[in-house]
Amino acid sequence: MGRVTQRRQVLHLDDGVGAQRLDTLAAEEPLEIRLSGTSMAVTMRTPGDDFDLVAGFAWTEGLLTDPDHLSSLRYCAGADEAGRNTYNVIDLVLSDEAPSVDASAARNFYATSSCGVCGKASIDAVTVRSRFDLHADRMSVTPAMLSSLPDKLREAQKVFERTGGLHAAGLFTPDAEMLALREDVGRHNAVDKVVGWALREKRLPLAGTVLMVSGRASFELVQKAYVAGIPVLAAVSAPSSLAAEFAASVGMTLVGFLRGTSMNVYAGADRVALTVPV
C-alpha cells in the first residue's frame, strides 16, 4: 500500500471474543524541512505530497514571500539503518532574487501532527502578515453550497477510507467544485499541502475560494488560510475563540459545526447569501 499506510497485526475484540487480524494505519513519519540548505523545522506528517507540504509551510510561515522566489524542491539524503533513503529530508532552494531569511526570524521548531507548530513564544510570533486583502474579496456562498462540502470532502478521502485516521483539507469554488484535496495526520499539514499546491501551480492568491477542513478550526488554520488569500474557511467542528476573533479582524468568513444543513457563522456573515434575511 506504500508509505502512506502501514499494515499492523492487532487483537480485535467483539463482545469479549478476540481474534487476530491485520489493520491498516495511516503512516506518520518525521520530515526535516531545509531552506537553501539550512535546517528550519521538523514536522510529523503522512508521507505524500511532500513538496506541496514544504512549499505551503514556507509560504504560511513567511519564509517564502513571493512564489517566483521558489527555485527548486529536492529530497536530500536521509538514510535508515540499512542505508536506504527515507525521503524524510527536503530542501527548498530560493532563487538568487529572493531576500535572505533573517536568522532571528528563522524559527527552528518541532511540529507535531496533533497540535501544529509548538513552542512559539507569543501570538505575535505566529501572526504572519498576508500580502492579500480579504476585505476586498466580495465572493459569496449559499448555505446549500456549504452544506454540500462535508460529504464531498469525505467522499474524496481515499486514505481515510482505509484507515479512519487522517484529516483532510479541500479547496472549493463557490459552485462547490473541488479544486484540490490533501490528507495528513495533521490538520495543519493538510492545509499546508493545499496552499503548497496552489503556490506551485501559480494560483495564489486563492481569491473566491472556500477551504473545507475535516476537524476543528484553530487559530493556526485561520492564519494559514489568511496568508493564502482564502476568504472562507469552513469546518465540521468548532473554532477556537482566537480563531473567530482573528477571522473577523482580517475579513475572513468562518463557518463551524457544519453538519447537514446546520452551521454556525462566527465571522464574515455578509458573504453568506441567506434566503430569508436575519
Question: In terms of residue numbers, what domain contains 153?
Answer: 134-271
Do both 190 and 122 map to the same domain?
Answer: no
Whether 260 is in a domain gets the answer: yes
CA dihedral 50, 55, 59, 64 (to 10 degrees): 140
Do both 139 and 266 map to the same domain?
Answer: yes
pLDDT for the residue numbered 161: 59
Do both 71 and 105 map to the same domain?
Answer: yes
- pLDDT band of residue 130 (cuts 50, 70, 90) is confident
3-state secondary structure of 211: strand
Whether 10 is in a domain gets the answer: no
- Look up the CATH number of the domain holding residue 57: 3.10.20.10
Whether 7 is in a domain gets the answer: no
More confident residue, 256 or 85: 256
The residue from 98, 126, 154 where one domain ends is: 126
For the annotated catalytic residues, the residue numbers are 115
Q: Are 263 and 239 in contact (CB under 8 A)?
A: no
For residues 59-64, average pLDDT: 90
Tens-place pLDDT, residues 209-230: 999 999 899 999 999 999 999 9
Q: Are 56 and 73 in contact (CB under 8 A)?
A: no
Q: How many domains does the structure of the chain reveal?
A: 2
Do both 165 and 114 map to the same domain?
Answer: no
Whether 24 is in a domain gets the answer: no
pTM above 0.75?
A: yes
For residues 128-140, average pLDDT: 89
Of 20-34, 70-84, 129-143, 216-230, the one with minimum mean pLDDT is 70-84
Do both 119 and 150 map to the same domain?
Answer: no
Phi, psi angles (nearest 5°) of residue 210: -125, 130
Do both 190 and 118 map to the same domain?
Answer: no
pLDDT for the residue numbered 122: 42
Check whether the bond before 205 is cis (ω within 30° of 0): yes
Whether 90 is in a domain gets the answer: yes
Residue 22: pLDDT over 70: yes
More confident residue, 2 or 264: 264
pLDDT for the residue numbered 159: 62
Do both 146 and 83 map to the same domain?
Answer: no
The residue from 97, 126, 155 where one domain ends is: 126
More confident residue, 33 or 101: 33
pLDDT for the residue numbered 162: 64
For residues 172-184, average pLDDT: 96
- Look up the CATH number of the domain holding residue 218: 3.40.140.10
Q: Are 198 and 180 in contact (CB under 8 A)?
A: yes
